[in-house]
A = this chain, B = another copy of it.
Amino acid sequence: MKIDNLLYKESEWLKGTGPKANTVISSRIRLARNVDGYNFFTTASPETKRKIFDDIQAAVKKCKTLKGASLLSMKEITELDRQFLVERHLMSLEHVAEPESKGLVLDDKEVVSIMINEEDHLRIQVLQSGFNLTEAWRIIDAIDNDLAERLRFAFSPRYGFLTACPTNTGTGLRGSVMLHLPALAMTNQLNSVFQAISKLGLTIRGLYGEGTEATGEFYQISNQVTLGYSETDLIDNIEKIISRIIGRENTTRASLLSKNKEEITDKVWRAMGTLRSARIITSNETITLLSTIRLGIDLAIIKEPDVKVLNELFILMQPAHLQKLEGKALSPQERDVKRAALIREKLKS
């Protein structure tokens, strides 16, 4: 696979399709797995790490569920390419540094990605556009079974799958849903929603996962607990709670539209005016403004651009994407100028 080919492709996580696409960007399930008989990655010797990599590579090649997928060796691609893959939500930020013996399995639709030798030997991930954990589970479960036929996973009858960090032990499953909650944010309801969520075993993260801040009212909600429940129980629980949040967001959007139409219309058009005019713009400001326009489209305040254009911009305006578009390294200042030019071009009326 040529990584550059991804540049002009729609990414699954921001396709803007799928169930409840007006409030849910994407759904994701990941499974943490380790190969039995080896140390966990953090305490493994360089030689063991290479062996793990080779074992997994051999297994992946035999899996029917991964037919056609590519295996990228992290040390054979540039750091810019690794950042690029993070921006496409195909791997974690932690997977960028120290590329030795680290790999990424990737299907060309960007639905499936498997990090090799991240915190665990395997981090299998399946992405689906919109609110669709069930389909993500169907796909990942098949891959997991396929891999389990060729690799013996570290497993305890009492605790379940063993993982480098005990918080993942058990199912090793994390289901996450990326939500867009501008109406709850505008009406200061997020705090109470988030407090309720944490009591129900879920946690909130920002756009790029653990340790990142929420921008533009995009929130990633996922299960905290992985032990003591079946995979489908965990997924059902997330789905049930998220459905309620979606309902509340939609009710609030409708009420904002009926009570504060002028203010929201003003906000949406100002966001559009700024994006269409700015000559220098940071990615944070861009996300915030695109978020407002996304709301404006959902509320039919504006008809253009198509959500597809917004999603494309969302991906392309990121630092590594911009530099790959430009074909060279850019300083943060140069990126802010390039980003503004790209946005003006894409949003031309």
Asked whether, in the complex, the Cβ of A270 is within 8 Å of the Cβ of B266, the reply is no
Chain B CB within 8 A of A193 CB:
no
**Measured between C-beta atoms, what is the minimum distance from A236 to chain B in Å?**
43
Distance in angstroms between the alpha carbons of A263 and B278 in the assembled complex: 10
Chain B CB within 8 A of A272 CB:
yes
- Interface flags for A257-271 (1: CB within 8 Å of B; 0: not) read 000001101100110
Residue in B263, B265, B278 whose beta carbon sits within 8 Å of that of A270 in the complex: B278
**Measured between C-beta atoms, what is the minimum distance from A116 to chain B in Å?**
43
Chain B CB within 8 A of A340 CB:
yes
Chain B CB within 8 A of A241 CB:
no
Asked whether, in the complex, the Cβ of A263 is within 8 Å of the Cβ of B277, the reply is no
Which single residue of chain B is at the shortest CB-CB distance from A277? B273
Query: Which 9 pairs show the lowest CB-CB distances between chains A and B?
Result: A273-B277, A273-B273, A266-B279, A266-B280, A269-B277, A265-B279, A270-B277, A273-B274, A270-B278
Chain B residues whose C-beta falls within 8 Å of the C-beta of A274 in the assembled complex: 270, 273-274, 277
Known: A266-B278, A272-B277. 8 other contacts (CB 8 A): A262-B337, A266-B279, A266-B280, A270-B279, A273-B276, A273-B277, A273-B278, A274-B277
Interface residues of A in 13-55 (CB under 8 A from B): none
Q: Which of A262, A275, A277, A280 has the most CB of B within 10 A?
A: A277
Distance in angstroms between the alpha carbons of A277 and B265 in the assembled complex: 10
Asked whether, in the complex, the Cβ of A262 is within 8 Å of the Cβ of B279, the reply is yes
Chain B residues whose C-beta falls within 8 Å of the C-beta of A276 in the assembled complex: 273, 277
Asked whether, in the complex, the Cβ of A269 is within 8 Å of the Cβ of B278, the reply is yes
Distance in angstroms between the alpha carbons of A270 and B271 in the assembled complex: 10
Which single residue of chain B is at the shortest CB-CB distance from A349? B349
Which single residue of chain B is at the shortest CB-CB distance from A261? B279
- Interface flags for A279-309 (1: CB within 8 Å of B; 0: not) read 1100000000000000000000000000000
18 contacts between A and B (CB under 8 A): A263-B280, A265-B279, A266-B278, A266-B280, A266-B340, A269-B277, A269-B279, A270-B274, A270-B277, A270-B278, A270-B279, A272-B277, A273-B273, A273-B275, A273-B276, A273-B277, A274-B274, A276-B277
Distance in angstroms between the alpha carbons of A184 and B1 in the assembled complex: 56
Chain B residues whose C-beta falls within 8 Å of the C-beta of A263 in the assembled complex: 280
**Measured between C-beta atoms, what is the minimum distance from A299 to chain B in Å?**
14
Which single residue of chain B is at the shortest CB-CB distance from A275? B273
Distance in angstroms between the alpha carbons of A275 and B273 in the assembled complex: 8
**Measured between C-beta atoms, what is the minimum distance from A295 to chain B in Å?**
15
**Measured between C-beta atoms, what is the minimum distance from A320 to chain B in Å?**
22
**Measured between C-beta atoms, what is the minimum distance from A151 to chain B in Å?**
53
- Interface flags for A209-236 (1: CB within 8 Å of B; 0: not) read 0000000000000000000000000000
Chain B residues whose C-beta falls within 8 Å of the C-beta of A278 in the assembled complex: 266, 269-270, 273
Which single residue of chain B is at the shortest CB-CB distance from A344? B269
Chain B residues whose C-beta falls within 8 Å of the C-beta of A340 in the assembled complex: 266
Distance in angstroms between the alpha carbons of A269 and B272 in the assembled complex: 13
Chain B residues whose C-beta falls within 8 Å of the C-beta of A277 in the assembled complex: 269-270, 272-274, 276
Distance in angstroms between the alpha carbons of A316 and B318 in the assembled complex: 42
**Measured between C-beta atoms, what is the minimum distance from A291 to chain B in Å?**
16
Chain B residues whose C-beta falls within 8 Å of the C-beta of A262 in the assembled complex: 279-280, 337
